[in-house]
Amino acid sequence: MANVTILGGGTWGIALAQLLDKNGHNVKVWSALEKEIKVLSETHTHPGLPGVVLSEKITYTLDDKEAVTGADLLVMAVASAFTRRTAKRLSPYVVKGQKIVAVAKGIEEDTLMTQADIVSDEIPQAEVAVLSGPSHAEEVSKFMPTTVVVGSENKETAKYIQNLFMCDVFRVYTSSDVLGIELGSSLKNVIALAAGISDGLGYGDNAKAAIITRGIAEMSRLGTAMGGKAETFAGLTGIGDLIVTCDSMHSRNRRAGILIGQGKTMKEAVDEVQQVVEGIYSAKAALALARKYQIQMPIVEQVNEVLFEDKKALDAFNDLMNRERKDEV
């Protein structure tokens, strides 16, 4: 039994809290938002997880020091846009060698750093790992079968986290390819926006399959150029996460894309989804990385033009379909 603190009271953090409680660990949830902690502690429910009743053994706190002190594992589960701010805030209380696993997905726009990079930058004394894969919070919180990957350069750290999370409904693999895991889990959100836009335009399965297939090609090209392993992009945090994010209505990125394809602006789509749409935050970073490493990523380029340059979704798809003729591989 371990003492685990979930940093962040969003749906993913709460789903993992529920899972870790099921596994017999002492689970505490920290949030910077007083209203969020109040709702969780008083109702034992989360508004984003309808039908899920949270274990009464899970405790909640607003206190930074209390959240970190004595935790065997800290789970960094705030939305990716808030990872740096949270890490900086909690860093003074983290002791040397304390384990942190980053579970958000996204690339920081200004620095082009991944979540693990950001946590390591702000909390250099910590042992940082990542956990990712095709894992909607709505299903994990209901203990539906899910498989993920935990990545760390330290194999013992990866195994430790694997043992904490793994159970009969949550299978965990280990990997040393931290960069590949994080790039796959971040870039797939941008591709999922394109898949949603296709759905919003009324296109069918053929178009969706093309986006997924050519999307994984773009992700793999960039990821391997940056030093990730090709097999990672063929695994759970590549193809696996891309499929589930492009094809499920649990996916906030796909839902936002559908609304944009139907003619709504980016802001209107985000307001209607009422959740953080990680792909929007990662889109500019993905394009910047493509240009830095001189990698062709036409889907990512078109998504950026639709999001930030007011390009019509239909025009973006027409431009993709009418690119120059070339070999597939």
User: What's the CATH number where 299 sits?
Assistant: 1.10.1040.10
Query: What is the amino acid identity at position 85?
Result: R
Q: What is the percent of the chain with per-residue pLDDT over 70, rounded to a whole number?
A: 100
d(CA 27, CA 209): 40
Closest CA to 299 of 178, 207, 185, 201: 207
d(CA 194, CA 244): 14
71: helix, strand or coil: coil
Domain assignment present for residue 328? The answer is no
Task: Supply the residues annotated as catalytic.
Answer: 188
Residues 97 and 226 in one domain: no
Residues 198 and 214 in one domain: yes
Encode pLDDT of 263-312 as tens digits. Answer: 999 899 988 988 878 888 899 999 999 999 999 999 999 999 999 999 99
pLDDT of residue 270: 87
What residue numbers bound the domain in which 301 lies?
A: 180-321
Question: Mean pLDDT score of the chain, rounded to an integer?
Answer: 95
Stronger pLDDT, 84 or 329, i.e. the higher one: 84
d(CA 266, CA 280): 9
Residues 242 and 152 in one domain: no
Residues 86 and 125 in one domain: yes
Domains: count for the chain: 2
Q: Which of 141, 160, 176 is the last residue of a domain?
A: 176
Tokens of 296: 């062709």
* Cβ-Cβ contacts under 8 Å for 249 (sequence gap 6 or more): 255
Residues 187 and 236 in one domain: yes
Confidence of residue 58 (pLDDT cuts 50, 70, 90): very high
C-alpha angle 229/254/13, rounded to 5°? 70
Residue 146 has pLDDT above 90, yes or no: yes
d(CA 28, CA 72): 11
pLDDT of residue 281: 86
Residues 73 and 121 in one domain: yes
Domain assignment present for residue 42? The answer is yes
pLDDT of residue 305: 97
| Separate counts of helices (H) and strands (E) for the chain | 16, 8
d(CA 235, CA 270): 29
Q: Using an 8 Å Cβ cutoff, are 285 and 107 in contact?
A: yes
Confidence of residue 12 (pLDDT cuts 50, 70, 90): very high
C-alpha angle 274/138/75, rounded to 5°? 90
Tokens of 13: 């953090």
Q: What is the CATH number of the domain that holds 68?
A: 3.40.50.720
pLDDT of residue 274: 83
DSSP-derived pairing of the beta strands 3-7 and 26-30: parallel
Residues 12 and 94 in one domain: yes
Residues 211 and 143 in one domain: no
Residues 24 and 164 in one domain: yes
C-alpha angle 214/218/219, rounded to 5°? 115
Domain assignment present for residue 239? The answer is yes
Encode pLDDT of 164-174 as tens digits. Answer: 999 999 999 99
Residues 128 and 238 in one domain: no
Domain assignment present for residue 326? The answer is no
d(CA 325, CA 84): 43
Encode pLDDT of 44-56 as tens digits. Answer: 999 999 999 999 9
Domain assignment present for residue 329? The answer is no
Residues 126 and 245 in one domain: no
pLDDT of residue 249: 84
Task: Work out the angle between the directed axes of helices 178-200 and 252-261 (0-180°, nearest 10).
Answer: 30
Which pTM does this prediction carry?
A: 0.92
d(CA 48, CA 46): 5
Q: Using an 8 Å Cβ cutoff, are 280 and 196 in contact?
A: no
DSSP-derived pairing of the beta strands 146-151 and 170-175: parallel
**What does the pLDDT average to over 177-187?**
96
d(CA 151, CA 149): 6
